[in-house]
Structure 1
Amino acid sequence: MSAYIIQTDRLAYAYGERQVLQNISLQVPAGSIFGFLGPNGSGKTTTIRLLLGLIQTGKQRITLFGQDINGNRLSILRRVGALIEIPTLYPHLTGQQNLEIARLARNADRDQVGKVLRMVGLTDDASLKVKGYSLGMRQRLGIALALLGDPDLLILDEPTNGLDPAGIREIRSLLIELSQEHGKTIFVSSHLLSEMEKMVTDVAIIHNGHLLFQGPIGGLYQAYQLRIGAVPNLHGHSAVTLEDIFLNLTNASI
């Protein structure tokens, strides 16, 4: 099997005459937490919709697990869990009932509901109606829905949107646990750079539909330090942040 779970080859997409993506070639390593970073409107959600086969492009190749999405979408999606922005939930039903409906739709095993509730820390709240859930609880329930069927890959689009700092920390801890303890490859898009800095192993930075950088996050810091001549501290890092690097790259590309 390829070392890369997701690969795209010069991916491009346009809405009418507006070019949204141009020559995006991604390589997402197996077992990584891959941060897909960029400001709002940079093309992140369009890329995710293409990866899931929700929209289609021309001849550019998109492969997941070494298979082309165009000819193998159903078999691929059995191995993928996805959450695009705000999860679609039934507020008048309990968290457990929402999961049971989704379990039946995915034809997942009966024990999956209890398992994913434990994974996202919602076991004690499973019998409560979703209309009483906080936004953070709803996001965790959305991730639980994505985890049904025990997927190898999670694709999450802005999973911390609208959360307070405590909720953001909860989601971050959950994603790290899913990667390190459950072996999931996680592709997560966000514009919250300080948060991504705390959990991702690899990054791709996109701006105005162009890929500005891709690789291990450590390689990003090293490349930036060489570029500006920064002197590392005793731990091998300079004082620059991911936000510093991002702003430098995006300003240079305008």
Structure 2
Amino acid sequence: MTSHIVQTDRLSYSYGDRPVLHEVSLQVPTGSVFGFLGPNGSGKTTTIRLLLGLIHARGHRIKLFGHEIRRHRLPILRRVGALIETPTLYPHLSGWQNLEIGRLARNAKRGQVEKVLEMVGLTRDASRKVSSYSLGMRQRLGIALALLGDPELLILDEPTNGLDPGGIREIRTLLVGLSQSYGKTILISSHLLAEMEKMVTHVAIINAGYLLFQGSIDHLRADQHDRMSDISNDPSYAIPTLEDIFLNLTNPLI
């Protein structure tokens, strides 16, 4: 398996005459929890739609599992689970029924529904109608749908949007567990920096369509600590938070 499960090469995209992405070269390491971070409107969702082949850029600049998405889209997508913001669910049906519909649509093996319910912690609530689920439970059910077919890569766009602190913690615990216990590579887009800092191993920071940094979270902290120490002329400058780093990097473009 390639060391980078997702690769883009100087990926650019425009909506009509309005540029959205400017030569973005992403490298998502296999096995990582990769935070794709940026404010609303920075190009995160557009990048994800390109990765999934929902929209197309000129040229062949996107590879997943070492293969170009435009030439091998269907085989690639069988190895990918995705959740784009709010999951599409049938509220009058139970959690189990929603997943069974998803299993049949994805042609996943029998027994997958019970497995993903256990993975996301919804086994006890499987028979309840989704209309009675909390928002956090619905998000977990959406992630369960993305897990059908046992994908190697999960792509989640703002999975904690609208959740209260308890729901956000549930999703964070779930995603860390999926990485550590099940070996999933997880690409998460978000603008919630404090929350991402608690779970990611690697980050990419994007603003106004420009990629400002990518690498391990430890590398990012060390690099920015050294820079801020030089600027302040204080070698004992505290290790910056992800929010400090983000504001420092994006301030010239905001």
Q: Which amino acid aligns with 2:88?
A: T
What are the superposed Cα offsets for residues 70-99 of structure 1, whole Å, 9 maximum, x if unpaired?
Answer: 000000000000000000000110000000
Instruction: Supply the distance in 1 between the matched residues of 2:248 and 2:111 (Cα, whole angstroms).
Output: 48
What are the superposed Cα offsets for residues 11-65 of structure 1, whole Å, 9 maximum, x if unpaired?
Answer: 0000111100001000000000000000000000000000000000101510000
Secondary structure of 1:93's aligned partner:
coil
Secondary structure of 1:240's aligned partner:
coil
Superposition deviation, residue 117 in structure 1: 0.2
Instruction: Supply the distance in 2 between the matched residues of 1:81 and 1:232 (Cα, whole angstroms).
Output: 44
User: Are residues 1:163 and 2:163 paired?
Assistant: yes
State which drifts further: 239-248 or 207-216. 239-248
What are the superposed Cα offsets for residues 121-142 of structure 1, whole Å, 9 maximum, x if unpaired?
Answer: 0000000000111000000000
Secondary structure of 2:5's aligned partner:
strand
1:25-174 to 2 correspondences below 5 Å: 25-174=25-174
Q: For residue 21 of structure 1, what is the aligned residue in structure 2?
A: 21
| Identical amino acids, percent of aligned pairs | 72
Checking the alignment, whether the CA contact within 8 Å between 2:44 and 2:189 is kept in structure 1 is yes
Q: Which amino acid aligns with 2:214?
A: Q
Give the gaps of 5 or more residues in structure 1: none
Q: Which amino acid aligns with 2:132?
A: G
TM-score (norm 1): 0.97
Instruction: Supply the distance in 1 between the matched residues of 2:216 and 2:228 (Cα, whole angstroms).
Output: 19
Give the gaps of 5 or more residues in structure 2: none
Instruction: Supply the distance in 2 between the matched residues of 1:165 and 1:145 (Cα, whole angstroms).
Output: 23
Superposition deviation, residue 253 in structure 1: 3.1
Q: For residue 211 of structure 2, what is the aligned residue in structure 1?
A: 211
Secondary structure of 1:70's aligned partner:
coil
Instruction: Supply the distance in 1 between the matched residues of 2:183 and 2:228 (Cα, whole angstroms).
Output: 36
Q: Which amino acid aligns with 1:15?
A: Y
Q: Which amino acid aligns with 1:189?
A: S
RMSD value, Cα: 1.0
Instruction: Supply the distance in 1 between the matched residues of 2:109 and 2:236 (Cα, whole angstroms).
Output: 51
Checking the alignment, whether the CA contact within 8 Å between 1:34 and 1:203 is kept in structure 2 is yes
Checking the alignment, whether the CA contact within 8 Å between 1:11 and 1:60 is kept in structure 2 is no
Q: Which amino acid aligns with 2:33?
A: I
Give the direction of change, closer, same or farther, for the CA distance of 1:231–1:123 in structure 2 (3 Å limit). farther
Checking the alignment, whether the CA contact within 8 Å between 2:83 and 2:155 is kept in structure 1 is yes
Instruction: Supply the distance in 1 between the matched residues of 2:235 and 2:155 (Cα, whole angstroms).
Output: 36
Q: For residue 184 of structure 2, what is the aligned residue in structure 1?
A: 184
Superposition deviation, residue 106 in structure 1: 0.6
Instruction: Supply the distance in 1 between the matched residues of 2:214 and 2:158 (Cα, whole angstroms).
Output: 19
